[in-house]
Chains A and B, each alone.
Chain A
Amino acid sequence: MLNTSYVGRSLPTTEPVAITADSVARFAAALGLRDAAKVPPTYLISLTFPAADPLLDDSDFGLDWSKVLHREQRFAFHRRPRVGDEVTCTPTIESIKTVAGNDLLVLRTAVDGTDGPVAEVWTTLFVAAGEDE
């Protein structure tokens, strides 16, 4: 089970990452999108997922990646991300719901550009109960 005392806690804001033309083109090509120059709607996941890495390395939190399934995903855009943007990610543990030993973990990641907020990204993970529980 996850450590519920982490609810409300934010992880450190990441260093600014550039949205490069190359990474956008590869992401678009992998989905078969026609316009390889526009940032795909789901592209930010490639930045927000790694931003939560500190949680995997934190033994006090108790997140075992091998027991995780991606359950829900949401992107709310303040503006359209663009190639050339430099953005930071700040993940917050928004909620943890425990049902029959399984946890539903909701992470909300603020994606900010140099000119202000770009998007809010919610990721809900289903974390299966451990064998010792």
Chain B
Amino acid sequence: MTDFTDLTAGEAVFETAFPVTRDDLAAYAEASGDRNPIHLDEAAAEAAGLPGVIAHGMYTMGLASRAVLEWVEQAGLEAALTDFSARFAKPVVVPAGSGTTVEIEAKVRKADSEAVQLAITARSGGEKVLAPARATLSRA
């Protein structure tokens, strides 16, 4: 079981990668109610000046939350996510068929006995797509 005080600023805490396909975006569109066609349809995305179908920013942020929650579980932390923010720096382009991958890693930004703040970066297609994302976990 990890305690927040075991964590030190600058320490890398996780690195993971998730595959993303257009089927995933369609499922997220249904679940979230965000059915903007730039996330579903090639022609609509190109008409909007995009290189192709892109993931919802909130889908990518959702994957970042998944990475955080999986780390919390593995580390055995008794923690609640109290603050979570992200900047969508570049779109995640999702080609038809095999799709793409989003790589997510996190470092400790600061930690004390009550809370830990993570700095999270996400990359896809060689670009930083979340820059930066921050998650604050507080002792539950």
Chain A residues within 8 Å of B, Cβ to Cβ: 23, 26-27, 29-35, 40-42, 45-46, 49-50, 65-66, 69-77, 80, 122
Contact = CB atoms under 8 A, between A and B. Distances in A.
Given A30-B27, A34-B73, A74 B85 contact: yes
Contacts of B6: none
Given A31-B59, A80-B80, A49 B34 contact: yes
B69 interface: yes
Q: Which secondary structure dominates where chain B touches chain A?
A: helix
A40 B70 contact: no
Nearest to A33: B66
A42 B31 CA distance: 12
A121 to B, nearest CB: 10
Interface in B27-48: 27-28, 30-34, 36, 48
Contact of B32 (A27, A75, A77): A27
Interface of B: 18, 24, 27-28, 30-34, 36, 48, 56-59, 61-63, 65-66, 68-70, 73, 80-88
Contact of B61 (A27, A73, A80): A73
Contact of B87 (A42, A45, A71): A71
Given A29-B31, A31-B59, A77-B82, A72 B65 contact: no
B72 to A, nearest CB: 11
Nearest to B56: A70
Nearest to A69: B88
Contacts of A23: 31
29 contacts: A23-B31, A26-B30, A27-B32, A30-B27, A30-B31, A30-B32, A31-B28, A31-B59, A31-B66, A33-B66, A34-B73, A40-B65, A41-B81, A42-B84, A45-B32, A45-B34, A46-B31, A46-B32, A46-B33, A50-B33, A66-B48, A70-B57, A70-B58, A71-B87, A73-B57, A73-B88, A74-B84, A75-B83, A77-B81
Contact of A32 (B18, B81, B82, B83): B18
Nearest to A73: B86
Contacts of A76: 82-83
A31 B65 contact: yes
B66 A74 contact: no
B64 to A, nearest CB: 9
Nearest to B19: A32
A68 B69 CA distance: 30
A41 B32 contact: no
Given A33-B69, A42-B84, A66-B48, A73 B31 contact: no
